Structure 1
Amino acid sequence: MRRAGTVLAAVVAAGVLLLVVLGAVKRDDQAFSLGAPPSGVAVDLKPRQEACQAPIAVPDGTDFDQVRLPVGTYTKPGPALTVTVRRGRDVLVRRRVAAGYRDGSTLRVDTGRSIGGRDLSVCLRNDGTVPLALYGSGAAVESSQLRVDGGDDAIVDLALSFGREPRSLLSLVPDVLDRATLFRSPRLAPAVYLLVLLVLVLGAAALAATALRRAEEDVPGRDAPAPAGGARDAEPGAGDAPAGPAAAVPDARD
């Protein structure tokens, strides 16, 4: 049991160490996304047409400096685009995307500054002479809507995502805990959820150790007593005399 417990403790420690190392080494550059997967063409943006997704709320404690969107060009070189980020009616950023990008590519537009807050809109205007497919999915984001050239709100949403300077996954743990407490009681701090996670990990290790101990206890013959007197007493050899009364020896004189 002691050896099995040592092996289990070593495995758990190695797993925790591996997670910490991967969290420190692996880096992520995505700030957040709208949550609309690129499952199909959300808008077929015609020349001189503009589509705007709004309102967009950046999660608290987060900002972005890059706008990303997968697009389709129908096998032709992509048309020039103008990407505008607004807060209400105020223009925060306006960037032009040069023509010639490939079909099925993801546009990555640097804003040149960090942007956060609420009531944002992202607009894309087709400045070329060929149509452009903007990918997204149907009504995936309840808090935001898509409008094309000031018309009625569409029942689709763009697959927008937002990037920022790469950060290690380990540095994102406080943000993850903070977002996990979105619907918590105000009396519970994010550290409580970290404590619960540790209790779950240690509890799983304790259950595994208990299972190993019981498995060893259930091994057949593990606790059977050894026969007294050694092996010869336990099982007579081939040359030993048979048990019981001595056999009669015939008399030669008879």
Structure 2
Amino acid sequence: MIPVTSEAPERFRVLFVEDDERLAALTTRYLEGHGLAVTWVPDGEQGLAEALKGQHDVVILDLMLPRRSGLEVCREIRARLSVPILILTALGEEADRVLGLETGADDYLPKPFSSRELLARLRALVRRSRGELGPPRDVIRVGDLELTPRDYTATRAGVPLPLTTSEFLLLRVLAERAGRVLTREQLLDLTKGSADEAFDRSIDAHVSRLRHKLGDDPRQPRLLKTIRGAGYMLVAGPEDA
């Protein structure tokens, strides 16, 4: 195990679950050189135990792990914690990436990867997470969108949006997790909707109506995007567009 060093300003804590020791050592050295505190463990069993301590700001999780698969670890973490999870996979297949996102991961990076890109993605995940985990906000802002949860009102560029209660709840869930892909199942759970097939299809209908009211082009949406095979994402900034 690579120990976590003492905290410094603007540091955050990374749990790195990876069985390739050489890759883990090189990546850990790079991340620590940029001010992150990294704990490395080599298998899924240890990774899950370490994650459930709740002491980390973000988890990097390889999918192909000994003792316990990355997908299983991801599912167990997400069932108990809201810590951001970035999955690594050498498989490179869309189905594997989609499965990871549907299991609860927030982002993915295929191997081989750029350490610089990994660092940028980790920083983005932690920024978003800290925004979500802060004290309740009177107003939620994403770009030119403003939502006021206490009275279920929303505006875009100062113009009121005529949203139904269901549309507002859906937009709020997306706005609170802007930049993160949410599956239909997650949207159903977070909006406390029914999980039956009819309501599942209505998520698509709600998204369609939201796009119309947001002035988003349904053929090439720039704000409320469809991530094929995964779900929906409200764009948080230029890096998500």
Task: Flag whether TM exceeds 0.5 (same fold).
Answer: no
Higher helix share: 2
**Given the two structures, how large is their TM-score scaled by the length of structure 2?**
0.22
Higher strand share: 1
Bigger-Rg structure (1/2): 1
**Given the two structures, how large is their TM-score scaled by the length of structure 1?**
0.22
